[in-house]
A = this chain, B = another copy of it.
Amino acid sequence: VAMAGCGWARAVRGLLLDVSGVLYDSGADGGVPIAGSAEAVRRIKASGLKLQLCTNETQATRESFVRKLRALGFDVSVAEVTAPAPAACRLLRERGLRPHLLVHDDLVPEFAEVDKTNPNCVVLGDAAENFTYANLNEAFRLLIGMEKPVLISLGKGRYYKETDGLKLDVGAYMKALEYACDVQAEVVGKPAKRFFESALAELGVPPEQAIMIGDDIENDVGGAQQCGMRALQVRTGKYRPSDENHPKVKPDAYVNNLAEAVDIILQQL
């Protein structure tokens, strides 16, 4: 690794880490850690840098998500996770919205306190196997029947990588419903500015002293840069070489993986 020209690594006090594709590759089998990432998390914490996981994960509650990560060897806690579902709950409360949920079964408990009777909006997450023809038609009919359809999407990712291959992400289904109902979804989660700001607030570090590390050129890198943060793309997870020619987004640096990013950052402390 060339350490010259690593000005991007200076004056850092906190890191926001994407999870899937950075810490581990997810999958129906529970997923597998990415080599060096568990050790990298330990080294970040030992260094005194602050750390917050900033994920669009919506297939599980934060509690079960953290249990899974701990079982894979990651030293993380629920308070260190910023995820879309709690952000969506805040938004629903603020606006008096009662959601119909099209989400993964395991995410439903995050919405336990929310009134879901007589829905006046649809909340869309990465529903995975719940993305059935019947469920999509049901969500569509509710939306098209509203005077002014309100569609809230927990992320707008195009796809992600699981151990058994690439999967369509929530953004694809969001586009299907947007088109059918001629509405624009409100996105909660990356790359929404408000979501990064709330992750930074939990990190307790201003954007100019924080670095986002992710595998998604648009949602991680582009979104964080829009908030005034530096952002790295790792060459793990859903990374594809064509990302390096992205027409709009250019990371502050590429790193082969989280371990390499941490090597460089810690050397600059």
Q: Which residues of chain B have C-beta atoms less than 8 A from A171's C-beta? A: 179-180
Report Cα–Cα, A172/B131, bound state, in Å: 13
A: contact size bracket: 20 to 34
Number of identical monomers bound together in the oligomeric complex: 2
Assess whether A176 is interfacial by the CB under 8 Å rule: yes
Assess whether A129 is interfacial by the CB under 8 Å rule: yes
Nearest Cβ distance between residue A129 and chain B, in whole angstroms? 6
Chain B interface: which of A62-70, A92-100, A133-141, A219-227?
A133-141
Interface residues of A in 160-191 (CB under 8 A from B): 165-169, 171-173, 175-182
Q: Which residues of chain B have C-beta atoms less than 8 A from A182's C-beta? A: 158
Q: Mark A25-50, 1 if CB is under 8 A from B, else 0.
A: 00000000000000000000000000
Q: Which residues of chain B have C-beta atoms less than 8 A from A177's C-beta? A: 172
Residue among A128, A132, A137, A159 with max Cβ neighbours from chain B (10 Å): A137
Q: Which residues of chain B have C-beta atoms less than 8 A from A144's C-beta? A: 159, 166
Query: A residues bordering B, Cβ < 8 Å?
Result: 128-129, 131-133, 136-137, 140-141, 144, 158-159, 165-169, 171-173, 175-182
> What 8 pairs across the A-B complex have the smallest Cβ distances?
A172-B176, A175-B179, A176-B176, A172-B180, A175-B175, A131-B133, A158-B180, A140-B168
